Structure 1
C-alpha cells in the first residue's frame, strides 16, 4: 500500500530491481489501474507484487499499521491481517470472501476484533464481517 504521490518513485525503484509492470493484467483489469500497480520479476514470474494506492481513511491507517517482511530476499512491508480482511470485504468479490474466511479460520492468528468491528462500522461492513466470522465457526 502506498500514497498516489509515491507512484513514480516506487515504479522507478522496482524497475531498478528488475521488476516490470504486468501489462497483461492491467489490460484485463482496466478499472483497477487507478488503484493497483502490479509488477512481476523475471526470476519469480508466478508471484505478482501488487501495490495498492490509498483511497480512504482506513487505507491511510493501514500504512501506519504495516509490518516489515522479507520475501525472496526483498525487504518490503505488508498490511496486518485485520486490514487485509477489511480491504477484501470492501472489494466484495466472491474470491475475497473465500480469502477472508481462510484468514479468519487461521488458528495461528489472533485477530484484533475490536479494531475490526470499529472499522467495519465506519466503513458500513458490519454485515459482511458478521457473515465471515459466523461462517468461519462452522
Structure 2
C-alpha cells in the first residue's frame, strides 16, 4: 500500500518542470569552455581599449592641436569716433598684477622677485598685504 501525501503531486510536478534546466548545469566541461571563452573575450577587449589609450597618450598630437596656438595674437580694437570725427574711445594696452596670498609659500622671496620688476611699489605695504590671509590681492601697475 502506498501512502499519498497531499502535496506530493506538486513536488513531482515542479521537479519535472525543472528537469530541462538541469542538463545544462550537469555539463561542467561545456560550462568551463564558455567561461574561458567569455574571459578571453573580456581580456581581449580591455587590452584593445588599453592599447588604444596608450597609443593616444604617446602620440599626443591631437591633444596639442586641440589646445590651440601657444602664441596668442591680441587684436587691437579700432578707435571709436562720433559723426563729427571726434575721438570717443581708444584701445590702450594696460597690465595688471595680482597675487593669491594663500598660495604663496615664501613671502620674502616673492617680494624680492616682484621688486626686480616693479621698483616703484611700496614694498612694506606689499609685504603686509601678502602676509594677510586673503583670497585675492591686486596691484595697480598701469
Could you say which TM-score interval applies, normalised by the shorter chain?
A: under 0.3
Structure ranking higher in strand proportion: 1
Larger radius of gyration: 2
